[in-house]
Structure 1
Amino acid sequence: MLWLLLLHISAVVCWCGSLLYLPALIAGTASQQTDIERERQQSLMLMVYRLFSTPAALIAIASGTALFITGGITGLWLILKLSLVSTLVFCHALSGWMMLLTQKMPDKNVTLSCVLLIIVVAILIPSIVWVVLTKPL
């Protein structure tokens, strides 16, 4: 059971870190001037999203689900936590959508959207940690 908790925490840290990094990559891709620089930045962005962020998210969700099923964890705080995690999943999907947007329309300015996404993720992460540690409900 302890290994499952360690796996979950490790995956969550990787996922949340990548969710903070991806909007900066997306905004950086949109600001590149030459096609070669933009192409290199887009390949890095796709690599982080496909090979790091998405697998970490799937592992975090699967291991978290296994934790509360095997541990018999219940409570209203869990519903609040899962609601916050669902919002984090939405932010993950929004990052993917913004990546596609910058690929299809490289001249589109998405910097403000990226800043707002970082702010939302930066609020969600400590909120989830607070709910898990205090179990307020």
Structure 2
Amino acid sequence: MPWLVLLHISAVVCWCGSLLYMPALLAGAPLLPLVKDEGNGHLASSRLLFTLFATPAALVAVASGTLVFVTGGIVALWLILKLTLVAGLVFCHVLTGLLLVYAWHHPHRNPMLPCLLLGAVMTGLILAVLGLVLTKPF
């Protein structure tokens, strides 16, 4: 059981870190000069980060978190609240993917405002989940 909690915490840290990094990465993409030979190299690396790191980390975080509370028999109000906040993070993950697709199709438009809003919402959700987990009754 402790290894499962460690896996969950590690996956959550990787997922949340990459989620917070993605809007900043996308907002900075139009500021880079486009090199003729490289094309959308910055956006391609952003896409790889999202598909090969952030999304698998999200899947491992959700799966291991589910196993933690199923094997531990945890059913409490704080868990329902945490799962609601995590559903918000999953929604933000989807919005990040949509923002990545938008940036891919419109490389010369700067998505600064959506990136700032998405980053602020994700920061609030992550802090709320962290606060809820650290103050939960044992």
Residue 4 (structure 1) aligns with: 4
Residue 83 (structure 1) aligns with: 84
| Structure 1 residue matching 2:40: 3-state secondary structure | helix
- The sequence identity of aligned pairs, in percent, is 53
Cα distance between partner residues in 1 of 2:125 and 2:97 = 18
Q: Give 1:30-109 correspondences, 5 Å limit.
A: 30-36=30-36, 39-109=40-110
* Higher share in helix: 1
Point out where structure 1 has 5 or more consecutive residues left out of the alignment. Answer: none
Cα distance between partner residues in 1 of 2:96 and 2:43 = 13
Point out where structure 2 has 5 or more consecutive residues left out of the alignment. Answer: none
Q: Normalized against structure 2, the TM-score is what?
A: 0.93
Task: Read off the aligned partner of 1:119 and give its amino acid letter.
Answer: A
Q: Deviations over 1:83-118 (max 9, x none)?
A: 000000011110100000011112222101101111
Superposed structure 1 runs of 4+ greater than 6 Å apart: none
Q: Is the 8 A contact 1:30 1:38 kept in 2?
A: no
Q: Deviations over 1:16-40 (max 9, x none)?
A: 0000100011111233331556511
Q: Normalized against structure 1, the TM-score is what?
A: 0.93
Task: Read off the aligned partner of 2:55 and give its amino acid letter.
Answer: T
Tell me how far 1:135 sits from its aligned partner: 2.0
Cα distance between partner residues in 2 of 1:12 and 1:49 = 15
